[in-house]
Structure formats: structure tokens, C-alpha cells
Amino acid sequence: MTRRVSIFGATGSIGQNTIDLIARDPDAYDVVALTGASNIDQLASDAMRLRADIAVTADETQLDDLRTALEGSGIEAAAGQAALTEVGCRPADWVMSAIVGAAGLAPGICALEQGATLALANKESLVCAGQLILSTAKANDARLLPVDSEHSAVFQALVGEDMDAVERIIITASGGAFRDWPLDKLASATLAEASSHPNWDMGQRITIDSASMFNKALELIETREYFGVRPDQIEVLVHPESMIHAMVGFTDGALMAHVGPPDMRHAIGYALHWPDRRALPVDRLDLAQIGALTFRPPDEVRWPALRLAREVMERGGLSGAVFNAAKETALDGFIAGRIGFQTMAQVVEQVLNDTDPGHIDAPMTLDNVHAVDQMARQAARDVIEHKAG
């Protein structure tokens, strides 16, 4: 019996790895929707290869190009945020949520409202609106499965375990491009240098987020939301080899570690086939050849994003939406060459400090998350303008 699946963010690295797995067994899946951004050729090609019902680009200006690319295929074409949300509401059994940024929130909520299993690779959804995501899943008897390698690892380590016996959760970080750089050199780090990851093959934005540890900051907040643990139970370790993705410590002193190659198809495949485990086309580790695995504590002077994430967890409410919006805007500023690498964290911290507590304490609704998101983005743009001027 085929399963209806949709892939939001199909042209990114997570989406492409998901398509790789689905395309290996195409008769098992009925593809409802694929969405992407500006890579129209890739989006159209994949939609035709998987015989999707509809393809959606987030960029409204590229709708005509998408229609042209799909001409004669019988596949519907659409564009814009409203179209992304609409396809989220189309019935599907399993949905990959891999749209980068806050734009992935509304389609993901729509999928949960349909009772779908949502494989969540969109960090920002839980960071911005964790309570809303979780309550929506519960109200609609929908399943939320983690796809970040770290949270998938924790999820797998917890199978059959009692959460009351969990003492701590340790998520690992590669350290990104600048883990061994002298601190005084970071101020001059270039976009090209920040965009090169030593272990993972990812898109530019997440690769830069890895170098700044903003991705790990988001994952700290996600861990709290996913697993309901206290902030002080969550630890980060720098693990340059990227073989151990997470560890769970229990009250009896045991430490369960998930070990695997740095290949996102493992976490994606686990979510795709859950609750079963099936063969995946990933490398098998030769631990004797690897020889050693190393760990060290993160330096919060080098990576202030981690400190800011802990402050966000303590403040709660809509502070995660403020944090994420400011982070995305600061990243835009760095990519555009308007601010330096280290200035990104300064922008985020200033926006967090300057945001009216009344906005952070507002009820967590989709409208309020969107309003705070837009407010924080404008505040971050103002800070960048001041620093760039």
C-alpha cells in the first residue's frame, strides 16, 4: 500500500536526500507536493521524476518559469507563501518539513492539523512556536518525528526508556569551519571561509550557522521543546569527528550514545520508515580505522550563540521567535557583506535585550509569532544599519 508524502524544501540538502531515498522505491510512495525556492529547474525535474501532484516555489516571481518547466507534465504549479500553506493542508500520510527559516512554520502546522506524521528538519518551528507545534500535534493525533541528526539520535536512544530516568541530554557539535581558529582572527572571517564545512555537505546558510554555532543554539532550544527536559539538563560537546550525534545520560550513570556516519540520510530514513528500521545506503563505520573520537567543551566566547540560547530558554514565551528572526536577519547581513562574522551575535543579543517584554509574554498563536517575527526582523535591520553606517 503506497503512502502519500510531501516534501517541503525539496531543493535543499535535506529535501534532496529525502528524494534520494524515496526515488529508490518509487512504487511505495504517492508524492503529493514538492516545494522549493529559486532552483526551479531542480524543483520541476524532481516533481516530474516523482510524479508529484503539485510543485510550489516560494518565489512568486518565478511562477511562470515553473509553469514553463512543468509544461505538458500535468503537474500543477503554484507560488508564494499562501500556496506553501495550502499544500501543507493537502492530505498526506508523511510530510518532510525542511523549509529553512520561519517560513516553514505555517505549512508544518497545516500538515499536523491533517493528522500527518511530520518529519521535522525545520529547526525554527520548534524554536519559534514549540508549544503551538506540540499542542497542534496532540490535538490532531499527529506524530512529530525529529530529523536533525542530534534529535533523531536522542529519540532513538530513548526508545523503550522512561523519561523520568533521564538525567541529561548531550548534543554534539562539529565546531564548524572556525573551531580551531585563533579568536583574534574571527573578526576577519570571510563569507567563503564561513561557508565551508569540514564534515557535512549542507547549504550555505546552515553551514554558516554551524560556524557561528547558531545552529547548535537553535538545537538547544529544540531539545528542551522536543523532550520536555530542563535547560540545565542539556549539554553541548564539541566533537570534531561528527560520529556521535548525541548521548543520553540516565540516573543510574549509564550513557547511551548514538554513533553513525555524518550522512543525513540516516536520520531522514529513520523518520521515513519509523517505527521500523530498514536498510539505508549509508557508509558503515570502521571504528578501528577511525581510531579515536575526541570531545571538548564549547567556548562561549568563541560561540556566544550558546549563551544567548540559554537566556532564551530561561525567558520562554515568544523569545524564541525573536531570537530566530534576529538570527536570520543577521545572517542575511553577513551574507550581504554588511556586517562581520562576529557581529551577528551582537545583533541578536541587542534585539533580544531591546524587545518589549510584553511582546515576549503574548499568547503563543500563529498570528503573534508572525507579528513578533516581523518586529524582530525590523529591529535587527535597524541594528545592522547602525553598525554598518
* Whether the predicted pLDDT of 199 surpasses 80: no
pLDDT digits (tens, 9 = 90+) for 364-375: 999 999 999 999
CA distances from 318 to 258, 356, 357, 359, 366 (A): 32, 11, 9, 7, 11
Eight-class DSSP state of 78:
E
* Whether the predicted pLDDT of 343 surpasses 80: yes
pTM above 0.85, yes or no: yes
Query: Which has the minimum average pLDDT: 9-18, 198-207, 302-311?
Result: 198-207
pLDDT-based confidence at residue 389 (cuts at 50, 70, 90):
confident
In angstroms, the CA 366 to CA 99 distance is 17
Looking at every residue in the chain, the average pLDDT score rounds to 95
Mean pLDDT calculated for residue range 351-356: 97
Q: Which residues contact 73 (CB under 8 A, 6 or more apart)?
A: 47, 48
- The pLDDT, as a whole number, for residue 363 is 95
- The pLDDT, as a whole number, for residue 70 is 98
pLDDT digits (tens, 9 = 90+) for 47-66: 999 999 999 999 999 999 99
**Run of H or E residues at 329:** helix 319-335
pLDDT digits (tens, 9 = 90+) for 231-285: 999 999 999 998 999 999 999 999 999 999 889 999 999 999 999 999 999 999 9
In angstroms, the CA 360 to CA 369 distance is 9
Q: Do 103 and 37 contact (CB within 8 A), yes or no?
A: no
Give the three cell numbers for residue 163: 523519561
Q: Do 178 and 198 contact (CB within 8 A), yes or no?
A: no
